[in-house]
Chains A and B, each alone.
Chain A
């Protein structure tokens, strides 16, 4: 209560109004709040696509019979392999793979039909460009499966397999890779924007020397800081809503859980970004250094968050390291609420982690800030 009275009577409000006026006049800041988040979200969401599809397939069919053509049709019917060209010789196919003109080559030998007719196993050769190791692995899996399936379909009196694995997909039944990326990138975008915006507003004042003037006023350090942070926080909440709208409208990412919970935890996460921003502002002497060092911090933050590449596939050391990454926890929260629709009961370890980061970051950076001021 005492605190409330103190707050109401403080110079905080006057300072706050001054900050709001400054922000409204600062076109660059408004641009920074609107443009990069939207563009980043759009480019990340559209450009990063993990699906293995549209692999260029070169075909040489020495057998050229009904069965061999059916095999080619089976292989190319579902967009994984796209027939790029039909060649006359195996050498030509090999050369095209070597030059990177095709990603895979299929060679059906002349004895294909004879083998099938005599009930011997017929072999076809598939060459896959292994430069992209991940794509090559998935492509070879698909090729084996499709050939198997076709092979089974040739035999009428085959019994159905005795054991079958039946899969059900949860949370993303259409297996859209944008649904995975967009909630992660949403966290990334919030981190980038909040860090940059809060650090540049503080450093600019340091740069131009107006911070010293502020200190001459009778306002306390906490009043100055809070007045700086509060309007920024409101604006950055607007950024979260903007990013969420882009995710919902453009990428049709669902919102399975509670919007209120998402905004609350998003607000909590903003303080992590603001904390980083404050820290940078105390570390750097000018704006150039701020941007360079924020680059230095954000890069590992994004890479080790699971927003772009899944955490499970990282080396174990990095998996543990990522636990110290606040963005990792926010990405888990974001996917949890948007896709899985889970509540606070399941997310609380991540919330707790975020809370710890906020407390530590804000304490350290506010102290540094204060000691720099006095």
Chain B
């Protein structure tokens, strides 16, 4: 125990002396928080659109007004061909209201509004199409052209996040990404640096066991990780107005366990890699890709296709993001997330054991 602590203190002292690494340890997570928290928005608003109103009657103008009231579109001026506006990316959609729009309606004849949509962004394209359909329906109802009592209506209630604030979904996920990448990155660098400088040989020659070495280094980066977690979570919650939806014991315990698995993952890569470059790249690429793409951070987990979904099910980030979203948005607490700390413990133990074995194979028999 004493040796673990000594190792930990030595590691912290070494960390403090490397100014650039300390700066990056603070700046990188903060930058990630800001960029992801502010810039990742999936819901489309202010989609640029060109409208050619060939009718220009009170009816057609009220249709356009209704369309703009959805707040999804931003009218753009464009005099030429609509297709050209799509090609140039000036607008994502164009609508043509036919010249006989009001005449057709007044004589009770059906009329069609042509909508040309840039399908490059498939998701956006679908939203634009749905928005036009919904607007057209609403227009028929509110303008009194075709008022029909619908037979069935759906009363929709959105739970947990009735205002559908996107930051409530993104920011708890950002916590998961940040606390996965950075503690592991720092731990990996620390481990591999010792190898590159050759100081690991001194460790091998000493009576320190592999487990003690891992625990000592791990503890140091665990503490740094906790500092990062406190800064990121409190600042993020303040900035994006998040608050706990349930008493946070499960979240606090889960966060600590998650930081441990993150640090152990970094140490394992550090033990395995032969040089710093490979280590950092390994952690950066594997950790970043997996926590960003396979964790359900941006799009729902159910969208990940089969062989990749297997990888996703062994990713700690996937479980932690679930836990974090529960703590800040859903709020079921222990009943809903009891298995997550257990999963994290199992993954942590596996990582620890693998790293310990890899290390002790290189160590002299004591």
In the assembled complex, the Cα of A171 lies from the Cα of B124 at a distance in Å of 13
A-B contact count (CB 8 A): 324
Contact between chains at A131 and B86 (CB < 8 Å) = no
Query: Which of A150-158, A218-226, A240-248, A358-366 lies on the face that meets chain B?
Result: A150-158
Indicate if A43 sits at the interface (CB-CB under 8 A): yes
Contact between chains at B122 and A140 (CB < 8 Å) = no
Given contacts A155-B151, A287-B277, A299-B35, contact A130 B158 (CB under 8 A): yes
Contact between chains at A158 and B148 (CB < 8 Å) = yes
Which chain B residues lie closer than 8 Å to A312 at the CB level? 44-48, 92, 124
Contact between chains at B293 and A50 (CB < 8 Å) = no
Indicate if A250 sits at the interface (CB-CB under 8 A): no
Contact between chains at A144 and B156 (CB < 8 Å) = yes
Which chain B residues lie closer than 8 Å to A32 at the CB level? 281
In the assembled complex, the Cα of A200 lies from the Cα of B121 at a distance in Å of 35
Which chain B residues lie closer than 8 Å to A136 at the CB level? 158, 161, 164
In chain A, residues 52-109, which have Cβ atoms closer than 8 Å to a Cβ of chain B?
A: 53-56, 71, 97-100
B247 → chain A closest CB, angstroms: 16
Indicate if B133 sits at the interface (CB-CB under 8 A): yes
Interface residues on B, range: 35 or more
Interface flags, A105-141, vs B, CB<8A=1, else 0? 0000000000010000111111111111111111011
In the assembled complex, the Cα of A286 lies from the Cα of B95 at a distance in Å of 56
Indicate if A209 sits at the interface (CB-CB under 8 A): no
Contact between chains at B122 and A179 (CB < 8 Å) = yes
Which chain B residues lie closer than 8 Å to A147 at the CB level? 152-154
Contact between chains at B125 and A121 (CB < 8 Å) = no
Indicate if A238 sits at the interface (CB-CB under 8 A): no
8 Å CB contact of A172 from B109, B113, B120: B120
Contact between chains at B293 and A172 (CB < 8 Å) = no
Contact between chains at B44 and A169 (CB < 8 Å) = no
A9 → chain B closest CB, angstroms: 37
Which chain A residues lie closer than 8 Å to B105 at the CB level? 162-163
In the assembled complex, the Cα of A292 lies from the Cα of B89 at a distance in Å of 35
Contact between chains at A339 and B114 (CB < 8 Å) = no
In the assembled complex, the Cα of A49 lies from the Cα of B298 at a distance in Å of 9
Contact between chains at B169 and A159 (CB < 8 Å) = no
Which chain B residues lie closer than 8 Å to A48 at the CB level? 293, 298-299
Indicate if A296 sits at the interface (CB-CB under 8 A): yes
Contact between chains at B151 and A122 (CB < 8 Å) = yes
Indicate if B118 sits at the interface (CB-CB under 8 A): yes
Query: Which of B201-209, B303-311, B357-365 lies on the face that meets chain A?
Result: B303-311
In the assembled complex, the Cα of A165 lies from the Cα of B111 at a distance in Å of 9
Among residues of B, the one whose C-beta sits closest to the C-beta of A295 is B284
Which chain B residues lie closer than 8 Å to A287 at the CB level? 275-277
In the assembled complex, the Cα of A40 lies from the Cα of B286 at a distance in Å of 10
Contact between chains at A167 and B117 (CB < 8 Å) = yes
Among residues of B, the one whose C-beta sits closest to the C-beta of A178 is B122
Contact between chains at B117 and A154 (CB < 8 Å) = no
Indicate if B79 sits at the interface (CB-CB under 8 A): no
In chain B, residues 112-133, which have Cβ atoms closer than 8 Å to a Cβ of chain A?
A: 112-130, 132-133
Interface flags, A309-348, vs B, CB<8A=1, else 0? 1101111101000000000000010011001101000100
8 Å CB contact of B146 from A55, A135, A161, A176: A161
Given contacts A98-B330, A175-B126, A309-B42, contact A304 B35 (CB under 8 A): yes
Among residues of A, the one whose C-beta sits closest to the C-beta of B283 is A291
Among residues of B, the one whose C-beta sits closest to the C-beta of A35 is B285
In the assembled complex, the Cα of A269 lies from the Cα of B286 at a distance in Å of 26
In the assembled complex, the Cα of A122 lies from the Cα of B154 at a distance in Å of 9
Interface flags, B320-333, vs A, CB<8A=1, else 0? 00100110011010
Given contacts A175-B119, A291-B284, A339-B120, contact A144 B276 (CB under 8 A): no
Contact between chains at A116 and B151 (CB < 8 Å) = yes
B334 → chain A closest CB, angstroms: 11
A44 → chain B closest CB, angstroms: 6
Contact between chains at B151 and A151 (CB < 8 Å) = yes
Which chain B residues lie closer than 8 Å to A162 at the CB level? 104-105, 108-111, 140, 145-146
A181 → chain B closest CB, angstroms: 9
In the assembled complex, the Cα of A134 lies from the Cα of B158 at a distance in Å of 12
Among residues of B, the one whose C-beta sits closest to the C-beta of A204 is B277
A87 → chain B closest CB, angstroms: 16
In chain B, residues 75-111, which have Cβ atoms closer than 8 Å to a Cβ of chain A?
A: 83, 86-89, 92, 95, 104-105, 108-111
Contact between chains at A165 and B132 (CB < 8 Å) = yes
Q: Which of A168, A287, A289, A313 has the most CB of B within 10 A?
A: A313
Indicate if A208 sits at the interface (CB-CB under 8 A): no
Which chain A residues lie closer than 8 Å to B35 at the CB level? 299-300, 303-304
Given contacts A32-B281, A128-B156, A175-B122, 8 further A-B contacts (CB under 8 A): A50-B299, A123-B153, A161-B146, A162-B108, A163-B113, A170-B117, A179-B122, A292-B20
Q: Which residues of B contact A (CB under 8 A)?
A: 20-21, 24, 27-28, 31-32, 35-36, 38-48, 63, 83, 86-89, 92, 95, 104-105, 108-130, 132-137, 139-140, 145-146, 148-162, 164-166, 168-169, 185, 189, 193, 275-278, 280-281, 284-285, 289, 293-294, 298-300, 302-305, 308, 322, 325-326, 329-330, 332, 335-336
Q: Which residues of A contact B (CB under 8 A)?
A: 28, 32, 36, 39-40, 43-44, 46-51, 53-56, 71, 97-100, 116, 121-138, 140-145, 147-148, 150-152, 154-155, 158-173, 175-177, 179-180, 196, 200, 286-289, 291-293, 295-296, 299-300, 303-304, 308-310, 312-316, 318, 332, 335-336, 339-340, 342, 346
